[in-house]
Structure 1
């Protein structure tokens, strides 16, 4: 009987996959690769190796979960294509977990007295812009995922009333703008992980919050812009 949730995290340069048991949410195994632009060529290999190393096959999957975004356009598309392919082939449901929500969950799980903070994941959106959100320790959303242009007044209202923990690959751009503020702290080295995706996906699976395999699209947050190459003749 299918008993595992396979989780894919491809929204950042880290390509990560994980397996969790449906019965108790325990982690079976996880692997990741930290190579730029490697997702398309290595994601399926990572899945195959993880299944083999843990003594399982694709037929043991009860569902496939993926990081929903925001994040890298290309990475999210690769993750969505892979997840849809597995779901179609195995006839199992698709689950999607917000990238910022899973980052906040990851940090809250490790924080002493987590109820004392608002969690502010920030993903780099180039220049002085980030994708950001605010969550309480129990996952309650205080600020929906949004693109923020950073300046000294960013999140000023929240900082006036709450202690914020900021993290993710966009947080370093915010740090010098609020240097010395007593209500904000920064955590380095926090990256999207398939483990956190899987932990949140388990709840979605139990609630049967499945996504349409045919019509699912990642949550890009901003429109995808393409340009036409200049005529070089």
Structure 2
């Protein structure tokens, strides 16, 4: 197992955590943002000082890689790269929507075995950025920019329960209005939930080229999708 520094800045929340052998040993969060430019450096410095004083070396840095806020991701990835270069350690990218599934899958034992989970990041109006996963966190559908109507997820909902959560979920439930649609409130992407995904990637050798890594910016995704319509 490894000691990993985790950085999450994809939404208004700024959070930093450290995990060691499958346990979160340090955690800082700021929910009053977006304050990433002010808070992130302080949190990372505290985390590194904590590890240095405890004699726990950092083996890698994990960063939430989007989709998410352009500014937030840029700040988070820049900080992660700086620590990786300074300490000569690898960079791990954790997809934000997968990260959001972790507290749901670990904390809700009542979810049906055949259910799907759908993390949502709010865009505008009735638009969201969403992914669809099964309970093994296997993607049933790629991340997409969805305009939510009563029919958007109907094909999936007709066959099994689907749990919706994240910043874009609450505004959609009245529109989705299906008996198999479930809402889980209060789920945000936080650094303290990154460790199961980051440790798995570390064990599998799935690290990034620090020099060339670029996160999944929403603005780039929108531009790509818009070109398809031209």
Q: TM exceeds 0.5?
A: yes
Distance 1:103 1:56, change over 3 A: farther
Q: SS in structure 2 opposite 1:109?
A: helix
TM-score (norm 2): 0.90
Q: Which residue of 1 aligns with 2:4?
A: 5
Q: Which residue of 2 aligns with 1:231?
A: none
The answer (yes or no) to whether the contact 2:17–2:28 under 8 Å persists in 1 is yes
Q: SS in structure 2 opposite 1:66?
A: strand
The answer (yes or no) to whether the contact 1:146–1:221 under 8 Å persists in 2 is no
The answer (yes or no) to whether the contact 1:6–1:20 under 8 Å persists in 2 is yes
Q: Which residue of 2 aligns with 1:83?
A: 80
- Report the CA distance between 1:59 and its aligned residue: 7.5
For 1:9 and 1:57, the matched residues in 2 are separated by: 23
Residue segments in structure 2 that go unaligned for 5+ positions in a row: 224-230
Q: Which residue of 1 aligns with 2:106?
A: 109
For 1:102 and 1:3, the matched residues in 2 are separated by: 18
For 2:81 and 2:118, the matched residues in 1 are separated by: 30
- More displaced 10-residue stretch of structure 1: 160-169 or 215-224: 215-224
For 1:136 and 1:3, the matched residues in 2 are separated by: 27
Distance 1:88 1:150, change over 3 A: same
For 2:198 and 2:164, the matched residues in 1 are separated by: 23
Match of 1:92 among 89, 93, 97: 89
For 1:225 and 1:133, the matched residues in 2 are separated by: 15
Residue segments in structure 1 that go unaligned for 5+ positions in a row: 227-233
Is it true that 1:207 corresponds to 2:204 in the alignment?
Answer: yes
Match of 1:38 among 18, 35, 40: 35
Match of 1:168 among 152, 166, 169: 166
- More displaced 10-residue stretch of structure 1: 187-196 or 62-71: 187-196
- Report the CA distance between 1:51 and its aligned residue: 3.8
For 1:64 and 1:116, the matched residues in 2 are separated by: 34
TM-score (norm 1): 0.89
- Report the CA distance between 1:44 and its aligned residue: 1.3
Is it true that 1:192 corresponds to 2:181 in the alignment?
Answer: no
For 1:221 and 1:58, the matched residues in 2 are separated by: 39
Q: Which residue of 1 aligns with 2:45?
A: 48
Give the RMSD, CA atoms, in angstroms: 2.1
